[in-house]
Amino acid sequence: MTPTSISSGQAELRAARRQSRPLYWFIALLSAFVNLLMLTGPLYMMQVYDRVMGSRSVATLLALTLLVAFLYGCMGFLDAVRGKIMRRVAARFQAGLDRRVFDAMVRRSVVADDPNAETGLADLEAIQRLLASPVVPGVLDLPFTPVFLFGITLFNPLLGLVAISGGVLLIALALLNQRFSRGPSKTATASGHKAQVMSEEIRNNADMIQAMGMRQAAFERWQGLRAGALRDTSTAADRSGGFTSVTKALRLLLQSAMLAAGAYLVLKGEMTPGSMIAGSILFGRALAPVEMILGQWSNVTRARTGWQNLAALLDAVPPEPKRASRPDPTALLEVQALTVVPPGESAPQLRNVSFTLEPGTVLGVVGPSGAGKSTLARALTGVWPPAAGSVRLDGVAIGDYDPSELGAHIGYLPQRAKLFAGTLTQNIARLSDSPDAEQVVEAAKRANAHEMIVKLPAGYDTRLPPNGGPLSGGQMQRVGLARALYGNPRIVILDEPNSNLDNDGSVALNQAVRQLKAAGTSVLLIAHRPAALEECDMLLVIEKGEMAAFGPREQVIKQFSAPKPAKAPAPQPAPAAVNAAPPIAPSIAQLKAQVPAQGTGKVAGQATATMGNQPPVAAAQEEAAQAQEERDT
């Protein structure tokens, strides 16, 4: 991104930093006193060597020592106070941006595979660590470096020349370190993140890797990323460490040069021994901030990279505008000419889909894999914004709802039910800090998960790892279904809800759907298995991202079951039995074989859709037999 494209994100970060501006000024004031107290050592040495040693006065030495001890105590106290304040400033900066960065990370991850979203929270922590480190006090100490160098010059111009030349060399090394280590540090951070992500993927899929003998292949793939990360990290450390070593050696050499120059001037009678020692101490203090910053340079480069990444992330995801609170909807769902383009793609995966779903209606969505069914689910939940058209809940576009309010009205079960690290209660209650225990149990019972949960040693308090731990796929599906039903949502969207359920689970699912219908909840059910469509009032068939058929379940099934006139007679196994059978939705393969390209129909009071007029395709003999077997089962 160009610098102008991240100006908005930069402005947000600077605004967060400006909130502590008074504290920065106070820390700068404390730094001034700390650096003035740093003169205690040089002045003490001058007095001891030039006065006490000459007068041999023990009382003077004792008084000076007590005064120095007091001043050093004050300096230590002030230094500790400014360090404590800086840690509070760092914590305030992170706390002020935690919610903003978290929301930006989640919202960006939904619509794009952005590395800045993956490292957003880590980037914020890197900035916080820099603010809490000694770097900021060191930067505030830097303005006093010229003051100390000028003080050395007052002792003798030659001594000042040596000190200033050494200071210039150290600053030049610091600038070179910044220039040559910035790129390797950024590369090392990125490669390390890739290796970490890969290790997390392997850990989350450890059972599959173990079962399929993939450990060696997984290790080799991870090792390649890990080796690259180690190589990049070593390169960055070598660059930075080389400059740090040179700086340390140069500083020691300069201190020796200062003593040598001072001794020469003492021998020439142009300086006192006390001034020579004081000049050496002042020189060490003048260069201390430079050396300290160089020693913390890895934190500086990491925080600088994090600042740039965060600025880009915040610029890509502007703050959400505050939306007016809406009354609770009545589950009237209207979809008008909906077109959806998945994030990162240019071609729409869903085109011109329109229907209206009245409260208490169950709509079954069927179609071949990749037809756009899950895309429709994501659009209805507001996860993916429409590229064209609209989705309205009680006449209000879902984009006009506050995301938290909209989420409370929608229950969503994706194809792959994911559970979070925490208790079963927290997972069912949508990670709420204060879950309603009665609603948790009620949702679990409706999802046929209650008996399974109470049989666990800790029941609802059973803690789960992020991947569900000991729960099977069917059990995770039930918990995910309970989460979708928690809180009595007005719209429930179930994407392949019975994909991992057994027969009892499928029966419980149909019972839960009946209860939702009785409560006036609109249900959108995406399924391949015919048993899941028994409770559907309407059917929507999607093919190649477009509506292929829509209408009452009986009508759509009858439309697909209508035989096509054959050119030559052939023995068929009782097609009348198929028509005479109870109205159960056909399999997805049968629907795909029988679906017309377009059609027209309207259901009064429930739904409307626009379709063309083409004759339906005849069902194949094998598919009819399969449908009959499914009904018999």
Between 57-66, 196-205, 611-620, the lowest mean confidence (pLDDT) is in 611-620
Q: What is the rounded CA–CA span in Å between residue 439 and residue 488?
A: 9
Boundary of a domain, candidates 561, 591, 621: 561
* Complete DSSP assignment for 302-328: HHHHHHHHHHHHHHHSPPPPP----PP
Name the residue with tokens 């059910």: 525
pLDDT digits (tens, 9 = 90+) for 157-212: 888 888 888 888 887 887 787 778 777 877 887 788 788 878 877 876 776 777 77
Q: What is the rounded CA–CA span in Å between residue 472 and residue 500?
A: 9
Nearest to 597 by CA among 618, 579, 612, 576: 612
pLDDT confidence of residue 132: 92
Q: What is the rounded CA–CA span in Å between residue 485 and residue 440?
A: 9
In a domain, 355, yes or no: yes
pLDDT confidence of residue 416: 79
In a domain, 29, yes or no: yes
Mean pLDDT of the chain: 80
Boundary of a domain, candidates 316, 342, 367: 316
pLDDT digits (tens, 9 = 90+) for 124-147: 999 999 999 999 999 999 889 888
In a domain, 594, yes or no: no
Q: What is the rounded CA–CA span in Å between residue 492 and residue 486?
A: 10
pLDDT digits (tens, 9 = 90+) for 513-546: 888 888 888 999 887 766 667 788 888 888 888 8
CATH number at residue 523: 3.40.50.300
Under 8 Å CB-to-CB from 487, ≥6 apart: which residues? 408, 411, 430, 436, 439, 443
- Strands, E assignment, 373-438: 388-393, 396-397, 410-413, 422-423
Strand order in the sheet with 350-357: 350-357, 333-340, 388-393, 396-397
Name the residue with tokens 């059972």: 207
467 with 409, same domain: the answer is yes
Spell out the alpha helix ranges (H) of 212-269: 215-267
pLDDT confidence of residue 29: 94
368 with 276, same domain: the answer is no
CATH number at residue 241: 1.20.1560.10
Whether the pTM exceeds 0.75: the reply is no
Per-residue pLDDT band for 563 (boundaries 50, 70, 90) equals low
179 with 229, same domain: the answer is yes
In a domain, 572, yes or no: no
48 with 142, same domain: the answer is yes
Would the pLDDT of 303 be above 70? Answer: yes
Residue 539 structural domain: 333-561
Q: How many domains does the chain have?
A: 2
